[in-house]
A and B are shown apart, each in its own frame.
Chain A
Amino acid sequence: MHLHRFEKIWLMLGAGGLALFIVLLCVNAFAMGMAPPSNMEMIDPAKVTETPPFDKPGLKQVGEKEYDAYMTAFAFGFSPTKMEVPAGSTVNFHVTSPDVIHGFQIPGTNVNFMVMPGHINSATYTFDKPGEYLIICNEYCGAGHQVMATTIIVK
């Protein structure tokens, strides 16, 4: 099939750029460990409130400046509502839902994932700067979706 010479150049540049971009994405995801949240753990959504550690949502210190945050997202709020960590702390969020699908996002950070009933999703973030970080639900979950938020305070 005939292709115009300029078109060949145009497509080669495009395809080359694309290939480079895909390679960068792979390096980023697999060599540098920045793959998107893809946790495979499961949980019975009807029994979230009686399954440890989600029966007592909250922060657990696991290292000198490292915490596990076990949280539930439900219509229309998050539990726990009060969390405080010192500046420089790394927090591993583990979140599940007892009802519908929710979102978990901390604006200004790369923490952004889906919370699905039956699954536990997770992401890690190091809070270097002090402040009160907003945590919001970013997946429509019902009439009170717009008020579903909490904060994490970094001192």
Chain B
Amino acid sequence: MVIARKVETDRLPAAVERSSARLGLAYIWVAYIAFGLAALAGMMQGMVRGGIMELPSWTNYYQILTAHGVLMALIFTTFFIVGFLITGVARTTGGRLHGTALGWGWAGWILMVVGTMMAVVTILRNEASVLYTFYAPLKASPYFYIGAALLVVGSWFAGFGVFASYRKWKREHKGELSPLFVFMSVTTFVMWIIATLPVAVEVIFQLIPWSLGISPTINIMLSRTLFWFFGHPLVYFWLMPAYIAWYVCVPRIIGGHVFSDSLSRLAFILLLLFSIPVGFHHQLMEPGISAGWKMIHVTLTLIVVIPSLMTAFSMFAVFETTGRKKGGIGLFGWLKKLPWTDVRFFAPFVGMLFFIPGGAGGIINASNQINAVVHNTIWVTGHFHITVGAAVALTFFGVSFWLIPVLTGRTLTRTANRMGMVQTVFWAVGMFLMSFAMHTMGLQGAPRRTDYTTYMDHPTALGWMDYQRMMAFGGGLLFVAAILLILILLYLTFYAPKGYTEYPIGETEKKQQVPRFLERWPVWIGLVAFLIVMAYGYPIMEQLQHQAPGSPPFKTW
């Protein structure tokens, strides 16, 4: 394994040119500042819920719960994803972003930072303890909603920067196939912009006027439908960049090749098509939506299994072919040949393992009637901690270990690599213990999003306490891992030795024929629009025609 390569830096051009690198780093460091604060809030929640500590009087459980959710699920992920994708696009379109793309990128960063500050300040002032789902009629300060809207619009700007780079590349390379990384980034941003339109409508036309007192009541059903239209694809906005790292970067890191260019593109097109029109499966236990419409959304949701299975096959095909090429023999001999001590491979690989039970749990959550067993229990929390908190986050950590050195012109030293391995193990063990406890308690009916309680010492609730302590212990390990991660990343940003680090972009073994239809955006976007109209047109029309009486705002915290 060669991690720190001693080369004369001035003879090798940087993988990403300075102006683009600075933009990428700006996004990634905001992501990790949010991550650090969120980790602190998360650890405290675990301790409180486990009955190990009490919060000081100036804060409360639901306030830090809101902070944890918003900072981790919305701020950390969005900033990191944008930072990762724009640097990858820069790397694969000639090493730099041109002026227009850079302009969009910085404008997006400024909007997102302003939005983040507004949201964080309102949360700290206890004016927005509405959790990251901000369900009306709980009413936050209007600045919270405006902040959220700026965050989303800022991320669109970054997406426009990626589209601009793509168009420029296409103009300069007529008739050529776009780089895989660029194609996947464009798909991810197309998906993201379509998915966030309805939540923008909810925030701008429903929540902001209502929280300002301009409109007295709000249509709860419609607000939830618009929210969950966005809420499910949000999950794919986290996953698709992790898939990009798996499909494109990991093969290069382990010294192999991309399994199939066209298959990777097809998987992304399928994710674009099927991640969107499926929000009702988050609303299975609600009144006001008929069982038939719920079933249609459940079916559309479950089709996403197909591109996930394609991804699983591709990844293990890459591992096996690479292991065999390096001399691995027998049924499983190739496993031994994989670079287990290289954190750039090890961290995302552990993430992939977490995704196997994560995906299975997702099928349970999305299922019509089975959902009744786990709906709003802490099982759900356990589920998204092993999908987003483990599969996606570990992949992002693995990416950071090489991406930050690429952007700062430094190297990942052996010691830093070893610390990264330790960090990965701590994170994985912590996440395993915590989510195991959460899944088990959830099956027994313990609720999510709840402060410490024994429900007046009811025996059922007392039976959950041991698991809650296990959850707190896992949370403690996760916090240690989070601190360790931040220290490593600070080292890689400011102190690691200068040198050349490769931006790993995998290629296929032979030049492959890729069907042209995969790049026909009007066709795919048209199909998405058709699916959306099919899945949402009638139910939304119904919700507008047969409205329940609206709800005035409440501040119950």
Contact between B309 and A101, CB atoms less than 8 A apart? no
Contact between A145 and B515, CB atoms less than 8 A apart? no
In the complex, chain A residues 32-78 whose Cβ is within 8 Å of any chain B Cβ = 34-46, 75-76
In the complex, chain B residues 349-372 whose Cβ is within 8 Å of any chain A Cβ = 363, 367-369, 371-372
Interface size on A, residues (CB 8 A): 69
Contact of B549 among A2, A36, A44 (CB under 8 A): A44
Contact of B447 among A45, A108, A138 (CB under 8 A): A138
With an 8 A cutoff between CB atoms, is B557 at the interface? yes
Contact between B458 and A149, CB atoms less than 8 A apart? yes
Name the distance in Å between B501's Cβ and chain A's nearest Cβ.
33
5 residue pairs, one from A and one from B, having the closest CB atoms: A107-B445, A142-B556, A118-B548, A35-B291, A138-B447
Contact between B137 and A100, CB atoms less than 8 A apart? yes
Name the distance in Å between B538's Cβ and chain A's nearest Cβ.
15
> Which residues on the B side are within 8 Å of A7 (C-beta)?
263, 310, 313, 317
Contact of A116 among B288, B309, B446, B453 (CB under 8 A): B288
Report the bound CA distance from A41 to B288 in whole Å: 7
Contact of B455 among A134, A142, A143 (CB under 8 A): A134
Contact of A136 among B65, B369, B447 (CB under 8 A): B447
> Which residues on the A side are within 8 Å of B299 (C-beta)?
22
Contact of B375 among A101, A112, A134 (CB under 8 A): A112
Can you offer 16 A-B residue contacts whose CB atoms are under 8 A?
A1-B263, A22-B302, A29-B291, A39-B287, A101-B137, A103-B447, A105-B376, A107-B444, A116-B286, A116-B288, A118-B548, A142-B556, A142-B557, A146-B451, A146-B452, A149-B455
In the complex, chain A residues 128-155 whose Cβ is within 8 Å of any chain B Cβ = 132, 134, 136-147, 149, 151
Residues 112-136 of A, flagged 1 when their CB comes within 8 A of B and 0 if not, give 1110111111100000000010101
Report the bound CA distance from A28 to B283 in whole Å: 18
With an 8 A cutoff between CB atoms, is B9 at the interface? no
Contact between A139 and B289, CB atoms less than 8 A apart? no
Task: Please give 14 more A-B residue pairs, beta carbons under 8 A apart, in addition to A117-B551, A121-B287.
Answer: A1-B515, A21-B302, A29-B291, A36-B291, A75-B554, A110-B372, A111-B372, A112-B372, A117-B220, A119-B288, A121-B286, A142-B62, A142-B557, A143-B556
Contact between A105 and B60, CB atoms less than 8 A apart? no
Residues 281-304 of B, flagged 1 when their CB comes within 8 A of A and 0 if not, give 001111111110011001100110
Contact of B449 among A4, A26, A37, A140 (CB under 8 A): A140
Chain B residue at minimal CB-CB distance from A41: B287
Q: A110-B373, A118-B221, A134-B455 are in contact. Are A105 and B287 (CB under 8 A)?
A: no
Residues 543-557 of B, flagged 1 when their CB comes within 8 A of A and 0 if not, give 000101111101011
Report the bound CA distance from A48 to B343 in whole Å: 59
Report the bound CA distance from A14 to B138 in whole Å: 42
Contact of B295 among A29, A76, A151 (CB under 8 A): A29
With an 8 A cutoff between CB atoms, is B59 at the interface? no
Contact between B262 and A2, CB atoms less than 8 A apart? yes
> Which residues on the A side are within 8 Å of B284 (C-beta)?
36
Residues 84-114 of A, flagged 1 when their CB comes within 8 A of B and 0 if not, give 0000000000000001110101111011111
With an 8 A cutoff between CB atoms, is B18 at the interface? no
Contact between B458 and A38, CB atoms less than 8 A apart? no
In the complex, chain B residues 134-148 whose Cβ is within 8 Å of any chain A Cβ = 135, 137-138
> Which residues on the A side are within 8 Å of B450 (C-beta)?
138, 140, 145-146
Contact between B298 and A25, CB atoms less than 8 A apart? yes
> Which residues on the B side are within 8 Å of A1 (C-beta)?
262-263, 266, 515
Chain B residue at minimal CB-CB distance from A9: B313
Contact between A114 and B286, CB atoms less than 8 A apart? yes
Chain A residue at minimal CB-CB distance from B367: A25
> Which residues on the A side are within 8 Å of B194 (C-beta)?
none
Name the distance in Å between A150's Cβ and chain B's nearest Cβ.
10
Chain A residue at minimal CB-CB distance from B551: A117
> Which residues on the B side are within 8 Å of A26 (C-beta)?
295
Report the bound CA distance from A120 to B548 in whole Å: 10
Contact between A35 and B310, CB atoms less than 8 A apart? no
Q: A10-B309, A143-B62 are in contact. Are A118 and B551 (CB under 8 A)?
A: yes
With an 8 A cutoff between CB atoms, is B377 at the interface? yes
Contact between B287 and A37, CB atoms less than 8 A apart? yes
Report the bound CA distance from A117 to B138 in whole Å: 11
Contact between B448 and A138, CB atoms less than 8 A apart? yes
Chain A residue at minimal CB-CB distance from B312: A10
